[in-house]
Structure 1
Amino acid sequence: MNHRAFIASTLVALSTATSAAWAAEAAAPEITTINLAGREVPVVKGGLYDRFRSNPPLSVIAAEAPDVDLSWFKQLKKEKVDIGFESYSPNFYYKNSRVTAIFTADLAKLKELMPAKVREQVQPLQVWPGRGLIALTAYTYRYCDNDSYNEIGLSVVTNRPGSTSFGPFTLMRQSMSDDFWGYVLKLPVNTELARVRGVVGYNLPKWLTDITFKETDKSVVVEIFDSETKKLDVTLETQKLTDLSSKETLVTNSFTNVDQKGQLTTGYSVSRQLSHASSSSAESVHLTLTDGSLSAYIKALKLGKLVKYEYVPDFQGALYSPKPL
């Protein structure tokens, strides 16, 4: 390469790198700080939460996201609530996706991890002797009242509070009615806004860490990093199933837990599934664990057979504030 060509190629490379840096800087949202439940919380400046505190008019959503179908949300009524801070219930999630892997797990360990007060009302479902069920779900909320964030749920599948558990028959009944109950063990998120709202307002075991979603033509890859070491902790790789159903399905997921006053509470969310598919093939899910803290926790559950995998690339949601049980 002659001297002139070398200079030209260098200038092109520098220009490309500078443009990429400028683009990245321009794409990064400006952050402001708000007071939430006595805490200083960073939020997207001018974002939905900064402007409306969980109560944006649907006309604003329609203007900012004209591709989102708001017909379902128009049927739901928000009410002002005090959940440790002023908010509105339900919280709306307009455009989201998730993957869920349900495994068998050690029943004795699941019982051990649930508070005694909770076990007085609900028990892990026993699908066969010594084995219960654990659900590992990765959510990406692309557009919601809390702006956008990623979340990982690790939950014990339980019976409804106060009802008798008949193991697999109870699971079958919940599946047929799309009405599921659980106890949330872990719920890491990647924004401080989601963490504070979840811990203070919903009594959920949230902490802040990096969570990334990557998609290829055939798979969804979720990476969860250790909040202390910052190293890759858990990787969940799942197949993009092709036999997608566009039949609208409403699914209710309820949870029982203990609030900050030691009282039993229950809350729930409703999901409007717009695109979904499921599989029981072990080939559809690949879970990679390391020596990180969440990996160690999952290893202690002694996961077994994959019972069901759910691929839901398009759903909407409404999360209701918890109430005394």
Structure 2
Amino acid sequence: MKTSNLVATAGVILSALLNPSWADGTSETMQAESTTINIAGHEVPVVRGGLYDRYRSNPPLSVIESEAPDVDLSWFKGLQKERVDIGFESYSPNFYYKNSRVTAIFTADLDKLRELMPAEVLEQVQPLQVWPGRGLVALTAYAYHYCDNDSYNEIGLSVITNRPGSSNFGPLTLMTQAMSSNFWGYVLKLPVNTELARVRGVVGYNLPKWLTGIDYRETDKAVVVEILDSETGKVDVTLETRKLSELSSKPSMVTNSFTNVDQTGRLTTGYAISRQLGHASSTSAESVNLTLTEGSLSTYMKALKLGRMMKYEYVPEFQSALYSPKPL
């Protein structure tokens, strides 16, 4: 099998890396009346009367069923939450009931990817080399329409890696991950558009989140995502992707795991399980249009020397459960 075919097979990579991992707030959320709560010493605005204000990541499913009767909760009924201390009291896993995402996987400069990963992480995982000098990054835009953290948008930029402690055979490792629907990565960037998502992600999940504007909208034929520069307020990155017509409605399960370093210097891993309810993919470069400017995130991405778009995933409907990180 050609290397490009192996990569295409593995495209579902890091759905929500984390998932995972993952942001908070749509424009509707940000316009709603807010109240302020304390999370690990941070004063955080949240939607007054929203799910997080009322239940702090542990809403009864009966409440979700009442407020969102169109959402299928059968999968969540088989999952058990537990109370955890992640720098503040919370519950794991965090539930994401109704969401959408688009993912584009590009080749990137392998040496640059290694340079951007901490030395202690590189001792356990390495970027997958798909051909000499080239690794892979996944750029994902998430719209969390309804979840334990109310609603929010998020952008994930992640290096695709091997599993900690396992051998790295490049395309063969990628194929193995694809066959098991169990993918691994290291999150480089994870901007979000609510302070709740930022604080929870940084303090609780050790993720590189910052607060900025993220507009995730749909037209008749496309999904258009605009990411603003947090310093200038101008459009920094624009991702426009095609809506694919031949959607599979057969649910598929994907696990996305990540390795990083917590605030005490310990290596940790976290993961998210996603239930994809509507999904399609393409390897056509015409499916994705990525526009970079002179903004900070664009400049960062240009340094990766992005190359060929290997796979595009259009997932208009998925559900997810994000588990809190644990020491590696």
Normalized against structure 2, the TM-score is what?
Answer: 0.91
1:309 and 2:312 correspond = yes
Give the counterpart of 1:199 among 199, 202, 212: 202
- Higher share of residues assigned helix: 1
Asked whether the equivalents of residues 102 and 315 of structure 2 are also in contact (C-alpha less than 8 Å), the reply is yes
Q: Sequence identity of aligned pairs in percent? A: 80
- The one-letter amino acid of 2:286's match is E
Aligned residue number for residue 102 of structure 2: 99
By relative contact order (CA 8 Å, sep 6+), the higher-ranking structure is 2
Kindly provide the amino acid, as one letter, of the partner of residue 213 in structure 2.
Answer: D
Q: Distance in 1 between matches of 2:289 and 2:78?
A: 38
Give distance in 2, aligned partners of 1:129 and 1:44.
49
Q: What's the counterpart of residue 32 of structure 1?
A: 35
Shift of 1:170: 0.6
Deviation by residue 1:28-57 (Cα, 9 ceiling, x = unmatched): 311000011111000000000000000000
The answer to whether 1:223 aligns with 2:231 is no
C-alpha distance in structure 1 between counterparts of 2:176 and 2:221, whole Å: 32
- Whole-Å Cα distance in 2 between the matches of residues 310 and 172 of structure 1? 17
Alignment match, 1:148: 151
Distance (Å, rounded) in 1 between the aligned partners of 2:269 and 2:146: 25
Hey, what's the Cα distance between the residues in 2 that align with 1:91 and 1:26?
19
Aligned partner of 2:219: which letter? T
Measure how far apart 1:26 and its partner are: 12
Matched position secondary structure for 2:241: strand
- Match of 2:63, SS state, is helix
Residues 196-243 of structure 1 show CA distances to partners (whole Å, capped at 9, x for unaligned) of 000000000000000001211110000000000101000000000001
Is 1:125 the counterpart of 2:128? The answer is yes
Instruction: State the number of aligned residues.
Output: 302
Provide, for residues 284-306 of structure 1, a one-character-per-residue CA deviation record: whole Å limited to 9, x for no partner: 00000000000000000000011
Three-state SS of the structure 2 residue aligned to 1:266 is strand
Q: Which amino acid aligns with 1:218?
A: K
CA distance in 2, matches of 1:132, 1:227: 28
In the TM superposition, residue 177 of structure 1 has moved relative to its aligned partner by 1.2
8 Å contact from structure 2 (residues 103, 139) kept in 1: yes
Contact 2:29 2:47 (8 Å CA) reproduced: no
**Is 1:110 the counterpart of 2:118 in the alignment?**
no
Amino acid at match of 1:229: T
By how many angstroms is 1:27 displaced?
9.7
Distance, in Å, in 2 between the alignment partners of 1:280 and 1:170 is: 20
Aligned residue in 2 for 1:41 = 44
SS at match of 2:297: helix
| Cα deviation 1:114-143 (Å, max 9, x = unaligned) | 000000000000000000000000000000
Q: Once superposed, what is the RMSD of the aligned Cα atoms?
A: 1.3
- Look up the match of 2:283: 280
- DSSP 3-state at the match of 1:173: helix
Q: 1 CA distance for matches of 2:187 and 2:270?
A: 11
* Alpha-carbon offset, residue 25 of structure 1: 10
Q: Say which of 82, 87, 91 aligns to 2:90.
A: 87
| Unaligned 5+ runs, structure 1 | 1-23
Instruction: Determine the structure 2 residue equivalent to 1:238.
Output: 241
Alpha-carbon distance between aligned partners in 2 of 1:143 and 1:120, rounded to the nearest angstrom: 37
| 186, 189, 193: which one aligns with 2:189 | 186
Q: State the secondary structure of the residue aligned to 1:54.
A: coil
- The alpha-carbon distance between structure 1 residues 25 and 38, as it changes in their structure 2 partners (threshold 3 A), is closer
Aligned match for 1:271, one of 268, 271, 274? 274
Q: Which residue of 2 aligns with 1:66?
A: 69
Q: Give CA-to-partner distance per residue, 1:174-193, whole Å, 9 cap, x none.
A: 11111100000000000000
The yes-or-no answer on 1:248 pairing with 2:251 is yes
TM-score normalised by L of structure 1: 0.92
Ranges in structure 2 where 5+ consecutive residues have no aligned partner = 1-26
Rounded to whole Å, the distance in 1 between the matches of 2:112 and 2:33 is 44
Secondary structure of 2:231's aligned partner: coil
